[in-house]
Amino acid sequence: MSLFKPLETKLGTNANTNAGSPAEHVKCLIIGSGPAGYTAAIYAARANLKPLLCKGIQPGAQLPTTTEVENFPGYPEGITGPKMMEDLESQAARFGTDIRWGIATSVDFSGTTHKVVIDEDKVYEADTVIIATGATARYLGLQSEENYKGSGVSACATCDGFFYRNKDVAVVGGGDTACEEALYLAGMCRKVYLIVRKPFLRASKIMQKRVLNAPNIEVLFERTTKELRGNHVVEEALLIKRMGHSDESEESIKIDGFFLAIGHTPNSDIFKPFIETDETGYIKTVPGTPLTNVPGVFACGDVQDKVYRQAVTAAGSGCSAAIEAERYLAQR
């Protein structure tokens, strides 16, 4: 029995699958160029699916925003995010992946051949589609946050926490991710401030309890970050306490690292007319597989994973997606 109930399939308002130049047919179209997309490409190319991979405006997904990757197995000395992506791309190209620039702007998954429009112009007809479009970490939108990206500002404690050993850091957010990141950092940092805009945490009770009981985590309720300051690197966060209330005041905390944990936005909008997502936009897959509700369309990486979100788990799911695409084509 299918996990999915049929979706009423209709084109999104931005869909224009008749756009531009004549359609090109491919066996396997991979959308996305992070660890999931490139791993899918390596496996699909080696299975002779002649994959075409579209890489968008930020090739490498979130990895290039990470300075050093030290937790991907096989790199005992670590590797920079951009270098890792270069290597993954070369490996995918080596086995014959056709790698092209382009952003998927609309899709039509209503037929047996799936249509994907790239850059609102080029139409591809694909027997199988692997969605590996990732998720984008949310930022507060401060100019100073932008200025210190990679110099004290990070959206991944698991990736970057190690650089802040025995230092003081802050995590922003009050959900499960923020609590998880705060607890992870508390294991290596001297002090962790958890900056929460409301007077309570939204995280699950068990996570709240762990955070509130951790000796080196200080939860700063009802605080809004106004600005980050520092000489080239983050040294201080300026906070507003009880913003909008009559007793509103400002304070500053000395920190070396500032971690965002205010949620991620899965890059799934263009697929929603056809592909089932959960209430937060993550693509639903049959548990433990990359199968979506549309036969021949597979999802891997962060666009379908809100729990682990690691390069290595994304790569693993990319491998599964390519294997399933190959099986699907063999059965047809």
Positions marked active-site: 156, 159-160
Of 46, 50, 167, 202, the one binding ligand NDP by CB under 6 A: 202
Nearer to ligand NDP by C-beta: 222 or 256?
222
The CA distance from 269 to 60, in Å, is: 20
**Which span (146-154, 168-176, 242-250, 310-318) binds ligand NDP, by CB under 6 A?**
168-176
CB of 282 to ligand NDP, least distance (A): 9
Taking CB under 6 A as the rule, does residue 281 contact ligand NDP?
no
Taking CB under 6 A as the rule, does residue 198 contact ligand NDP?
yes
Taking CB under 6 A as the rule, does residue 140 contact ligand NDP?
yes
CB of 174 to ligand NDP, least distance (A): 3
Taking CB under 6 A as the rule, does residue 262 contact ligand NDP?
yes
The CA distance from 326 to 243, in Å, is: 55
Taking CB under 6 A as the rule, does residue 172 contact ligand NDP?
yes
CB of 258 to ligand NDP, least distance (A): 12
Taking CB under 6 A as the rule, does residue 241 contact ligand NDP?
no
**Which span (27-35, 50-58, 174-182, 265-273) binds ligand NDP, by CB under 6 A?**
174-182
SS3 for the chain is CCCCCCCCCCCCCCCCCCCCCCCEEEEEEEECCCHHHHHHHHHHHHCCCCCEEEECCCCCCCHHHCCEECCCCCCCCCEEHHHHHHHHHHHHHHCCCEEEECCEEEEECCCCCEEEEECCCEEEEEEEEEECCCEEECCCCCHHHHHCECCCEECCHHHHHHHHCCCEEEEECCCHHHHHHHHHHHCCCCEEEEECCCCCCCCCHHHHHHHHHCCCEEEECCEEEEEEECCCCCCEEEEEECCCCCCCEEEEEECCEEEECCCEEECCHHHCCCCCECCCCCECCCCCCCECCCCCEEECHHHHCCCCCCHHHHHHHHHHHHHHHHHHHHHC
Taking CB under 6 A as the rule, does residue 209 contact ligand NDP?
no
CB of 274 to ligand NDP, least distance (A): 23
Of 78, 306, 312, 316, the one binding ligand NDP by CB under 6 A: 306
CB of 101 to ligand NDP, least distance (A): 30
Of 37, 64, 174, 301, the one binding ligand NDP by CB under 6 A: 174
Taking CB under 6 A as the rule, does residue 197 contact ligand NDP?
yes
- For the record, the structure tokens of 210 come out as 């762990």
**Which span (48-56, 104-112, 127-135, 170-178) binds ligand NDP, by CB under 6 A?**
170-178
List contacts with ligand NDP (CB under 6 A): 140, 172-178, 180, 197-198, 202, 262-263, 306-307
